[in-house]
Chain A
Amino acid sequence: MMKKNIITLLFLLTFGFLSFGQATDSFVSNCAMNAGVNAKYLKDFRIQLGKAATQSELRYKANMSLWKNTKYRFSLCNTEGSQGQLILNIKDDANKVILSSFDQKTGKIYSFVDFVCNKSGMYQLNYDFTNGQQGSGVGVVSLVK
């Protein structure tokens, strides 16, 4: 009985770890492939956050240089189990918000935002889930023609 339990447990753990890795890649790949016909994948940010103790700034931060004369698409995808929806804002080097996928006035959330960049520089990408909820998802950055 004990031996059977151990074998089952080992099988479940091994299968669980392997399938988690594959599921993550497949989820990211799907998000990237659904970015649009003219969008070419550039990079992705994989985000997993618990529920925030307080709601203030968006919690996941990454720096990215964006280049003038380039149109970027920022696509946002959540996994099914996420409590909140993935949102993004981008700040420039003066800490000014230049882009937000979440309209605070209307509450509307966009699943993608196109950004026509005219100022090359370092930008801060900030991701979180709505209302600081728990969730996991991916932010894909693509180049758009």
Chain B
Amino acid sequence: MKERVLLLFIIVFICFACRNSSNKKGEFVFPEADSVPVSEAEKLSPEAIADISKNIASPVEIANLLHMLEVPFSQNYLATSIDANKQSTNFDKALKLGILGADLGYLNMYEKTSSSLDVLSSIRKIAEDIKVGQFFDFESIKRLSMNKTNLDSLLFISINSYTQIDNYLRSNDRGQLSALMIIGVWIEGQYLATQVVSQFPDKILSDRIGEQKIILNDLLLLVSPYCNRDLKFTELCKNLQNIKDKYRDIRITYTQGDPVSVEKDGGLVITQTETSVVEMSKEQLEGIIEITKNIRNRLILNN
């Protein structure tokens, strides 16, 4: 009888221990400065933050569009000046992790995988510095990068690594780093799109830039709890607000229609007949190109 009670006690103890394992001291040690005051974190519910994060954080969508439009690849768009060894604060590290993630997505999409090894090394260094290196499957990504036949696996592992880092940061009271990473991904994607459109004007691409108005509010919402945290955050919030101001007079209108569906290859194909139309002048686009370039180039400066 005693043995059974003891056994039951051990089962219950292990179950509770495992459930909270990610918060255990000793497994990972985080700098005290990373902790977010409860009042700040409470402004948005964790579910709302998770929803916004999951929606914005995709390092490959803009790169995919550029690839689809057959825009030639250029190394010049990449943030090659980032030196992983010269990032002194967690603010800089998290932001650069996002920027480099977008660059990795761009390289992967164009299958410039051998060139991605430098970016991968920087990502690994920075991820380890902010104690999230365990989620970045460097060896698998490196192996897949060398083997060009498996682009989908490479995209899956790369994106999955970033998703896990983001989830981990948010569930461990380091939401400010998650927000920075997401902003880094977004600003670099925006930089890629705006640089390309200034060299290769294209209606689809300029529309996509104009349509970023749809998610800019969410981006600001994500970072807003931390805007008064320190000078760097205040500056970043101001920069994002300046970008938002450039979008103020851009209009997105919609036309109505019902979706059309057909069966094809065992699946269903649905074509939307409703459309969105971006009304953006040349001057407005130029304003966005200019401000994006200035902000992004300031952000990639080493400390």
Q: Which positions in A face B, CB cutoff 8 Å?
A: 1-2, 5-6, 9-10, 13, 17, 25, 28-29, 32-33, 35, 39-43, 62-65, 67-70, 92, 98-99, 101, 110-122, 143, 145
Contacts and interface: CB of A to CB of B under 8 A. Distances in A.
Contact of A40 (B155, B208, B259, B271): B155
Given A9-B11, A110-B268, A120 B54 contact: no
Nearest to A123: B55
B153 A33 contact: yes
A111 B276 contact: no
Contacts of B159: 41-43
Given A13-B18, A43-B159, A68-B211, A113 B61 contact: no
Contacts of B18: 13, 17
Contact of B152 (A39, A43, A69): A39
- Closest CB pairs A-B (n = 6): A116-B271, A120-B211, A119-B276, A112-B267, A114-B269, A118-B272
Contacts of A115: 270, 272
Given A43-B163, A65-B55, A114-B270, 12 more contacts: A5-B7, A29-B160, A32-B152, A40-B60, A41-B155, A62-B54, A63-B51, A65-B56, A65-B214, A110-B267, A113-B268, A116-B271
B207 interface: yes
A126 B56 CA distance: 18
Contacts of B6: 2
Main secondary structure of the interface of B (DSSP, over half): helix
B14 interface: yes
Given A43-B54, A101-B268, A116-B270, A9 B61 contact: no
Contacts, number: 129
Nearest to A98: B259
11 contacts: A2-B6, A9-B11, A28-B160, A29-B156, A40-B64, A69-B208, A99-B259, A99-B270, A113-B267, A116-B271, A118-B274
A9 B10 contact: yes
B266 interface: yes
Interface of B: 3, 6-7, 10-11, 14, 18, 51, 54-56, 58, 60-61, 64-65, 68, 109, 151-153, 155-156, 159-160, 163, 204, 207-208, 211, 214-215, 252, 254, 259, 264, 266-276
B71 to A, nearest CB: 14
A76 to B, nearest CB: 10
B207 to A, nearest CB: 7
Contacts of B208: 67-69, 120
Contacts of A67: 61, 65, 208, 211
Contacts of A118: 271-276
A126 to B, nearest CB: 13
Contact of A98 (B109, B214, B215, B270): B270
A33 B267 contact: no
Contacts of A69: 65, 204, 207-208
Contact of B68 (A32, A113, A145): A145
Nearest to A16: B18
Contacts of B276: 68, 118-121
A136 B270 CA distance: 26
A98 B272 contact: yes
B215 A65 contact: yes
B10 A41 contact: no
